């Protein structure tokens, strides 16, 4: 009598196997065993595949958990837009940092093997090359400039950076909030948008920085500045700082967005699209902008700011706009965004938070500045 085997089980039982595997490596091994099991593995739900990937995120999906959060953030943001209750749950999870976002994604989102393969290819086309650019802005290559502190860099500053993580912090912001920019440009007043409060929760807790910790000390100016000792700010005792604060994430990303080694890549994209800037040679140097127009400001500054912000905040694939081999695919979209910005009759509103301001639409530089303003130059 032949010994029983796994393949002797009915197919309607075999298709349940993915829910009982331990990790993505188990899944791949089972799927490569034979055609029958490969077909059964194809029945795995996206949520099952995400769970299996998360179990080995430190092995195959680095940086962990940022890569998997980025891969699911678009769906997570859309889930949050379904109701006030969902958005409140998203904001509450953010208080425990990016790890908690992955936990929330495991409840409400999924991943496919096709998407995993796409992420693998993007490692070489987008992730590694753009990380290299960020490193030139705030990382080891930046510091390697001769006479760094004596004119070797025009933006010399002490920044403890982590370029691979900064790339995903940028990308996750775009994945979560880009749909709100689309609603603005389409002038769709009925579309539900995530609030400024939720954006600030993401900046505070998922882009942690001791500069933000300093800014939280000024919560008396606005309760949205308040910072809880949760997630990356949790301490085992009053003298022990969380390891997450070893890096200056907020300050580093701000330096990247304003860097003379970052901005020309986006300028090249706009030039390829054949569209003129609203404000020629504008450097976007508005770190201390408080929402009020300065005397002598170009009347189209707000359009230029919005157009550039829309481009930067398109998530992981959107960062391909600064890769020479990928730019052509974005030409029509960049032209479309410019036309939509030009078609707006008036500047979108500002939102004051303490003495600083950000825009009602997702404005990454403004959101970063608000959360760190207690550290750099006061409030």
pLDDT single digits (tens) 43-90: 788 999 999 999 999 888 899 999 999 999 999 999 999 999 999 999
Domain that holds residue 322: 125-372
Helix, strand, coil percentages in the chain from 3-state DSSP, rounded to 5: 60, 0, 40
pLDDT of residue 22: 84
Distances (CA, A) of 194 to 25, 183, 216, 228: 36, 11, 22, 21
Single pTM value for the model: 0.91
Q: Looking at the predicted structure, is the pLDDT value of residue 378 above 60?
A: no
Q: How far apart are CA 133 and CA 141, in angstroms?
A: 9
Residues 36 and 132 in one domain: no
Residue 51 lies in a domain: no
Flag whether 173 is in a domain: yes
174 located within any domain: yes
What is the spatial distance between Cα 194 and Cα 179, in angstroms, rounded to a whole number?
Answer: 9
Provide the pLDDT confidence category of residue 226 given band limits of 50, 70 and 90.
confident
What pLDDT sits at residue 98?
96
| CA 328 to chain centroid | 23
301 and 169 in a common domain = yes
Q: With respect to residue 353, please indicate whether it lies within any of the assigned structural domains.
A: yes
Whether 50 is covered by a domain: the verdict is: no
Query: Looking at residues 264-282, what average pLDDT do you find?
Result: 92
pLDDT at 377: 44
Kindly tell me if the per-residue pLDDT of 212 is higher than 80: yes
Question: Does one domain contain both 222 and 349?
Answer: yes
Residues 281, 174 share a domain: yes
Pair 318, 198 in one domain: yes
Omega within 30 of 0 (cis) for the link into 314: no
Give pLDDT tens digits for 100-110: 999 999 999 99
Task: Pick the range with the lowest mean pLDDT from 6-20, 102-116, 134-148, 174-188.
Answer: 6-20
Residues paired with 351 in a beta bridge:
358
- In terms of domains, do 4 and 141 share one? no
Distance CA 150, CA 14 (A): 67
Residue 245 counted as domain residue: yes
pLDDT: which is higher, 283 or 8: 283
CA–CA dist 178, 321 (Å, integer): 15
Average pLDDT over all residues of the chain: 87
Contact 77, 194 (CB under 8 A): yes
| Residue 115: half-sphere exposure toward Cβ, Cα within 13 Å | 17
Contact yes or no for 231/100 (Cβ under 8 A): yes
Residues 138 and 261 in one domain: yes
Cβ atoms < 10 Å from Cβ of 117:
10
Question: Can you read off the two tokens belonging to residue 339?
Answer: 């036309």
254 found inside a domain = yes
Whether residues 156 and 19 fall in one domain: no
Same domain, 11 and 139: no
User: 61 in a domain, yes or no?
Assistant: no
Write the pLDDT tens digit of every residue in 297-322: 678 899 999 999 999 999 999 999 99
Count of structural domains within the chain:
2
Share of the chain above pLDDT 90, in %: 62
**For the residues 337-346, what does the mean pLDDT come to?**
96
Looking at the structure, do residues 177 and 299 belong to the same domain, yes or no? yes
The reply to whether 266 and 154 lie within a common domain is: yes
Residues 139, 12 share a domain: no
């Amino acid at each position: 009598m032949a010994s029983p085997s796994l393949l002797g089980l009915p197919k309607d039982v075999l298709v349940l196997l993915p829910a009982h595997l331990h990790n993505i490596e188990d899944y791949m091994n089972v799927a490569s065993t034979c055609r029958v099991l490969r077909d059964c593995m194809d029945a795995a739900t996206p949520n099952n595949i995400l769970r299996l990937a998360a179990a080995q995120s430190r092995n195959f999906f680095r940086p962990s958990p940022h890569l998997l959060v980025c891969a699911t953030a678009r769906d997570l943001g859309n889930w949050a837009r379904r109701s006030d209750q969902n958005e409140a749950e998203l904001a509450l999870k953010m208080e425990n940092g990016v790890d908690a976002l992955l936990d929330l994604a495991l409840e409400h989102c999924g991943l496919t093997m096709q998407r995993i393969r796409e992420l693998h290819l993007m490692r070489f086309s987008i992730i590694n090359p753009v990380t290299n650019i960020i490193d030139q802005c705030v990382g080891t290559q930046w510091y390697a400039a001769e006479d760094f502190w004596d004119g070797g860099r025009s933006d010399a500053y002490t920044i403890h950076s982590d370029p691979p993580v900064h790339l995903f912090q940028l990308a996750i912001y775009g994945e979560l909030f880009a749909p709100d920019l689309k609603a603005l440009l389409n002038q769709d007043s009925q579309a539900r948008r995530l609030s400024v409060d939720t954006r600030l929760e993401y900046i505070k807790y998922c882009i942690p920085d001791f500069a933000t910790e300093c800014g939280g000390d000024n919560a008396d100016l606005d309760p949205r500045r308040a910072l809880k000792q949760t997630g990356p700010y949790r301490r085992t005792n009053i003298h022990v700082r969380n390891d997450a604060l070893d890096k200056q994430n907020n300050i580093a990303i701000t330096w990247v967005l304003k860097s003379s080694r970052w901005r020309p890549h986006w300028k090249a994209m706009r030039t390829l699209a054949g569209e003129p800037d609203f404000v020629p040679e504008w450097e976007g140097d508005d770190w201390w902008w408080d929402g009020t127009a300065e005397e002598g400001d170009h009347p189209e500054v707000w359009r230029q700011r919005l157009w550039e912000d829309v481009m930067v905040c398109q998530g992981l694939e959107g960062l391909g706009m600064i890769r020479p081999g990928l730019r052509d695919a974005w030409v029509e979209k960049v032209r479309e965004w410019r036309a939509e910005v030009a078609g707006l009759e008036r500047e979108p509103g500002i939102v004051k938070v303490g003495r600083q301001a950000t825009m009602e639409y997702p404005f990454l530089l403004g959101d970063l500045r608000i959360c760190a303003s207690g550290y750099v130059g006061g409030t």
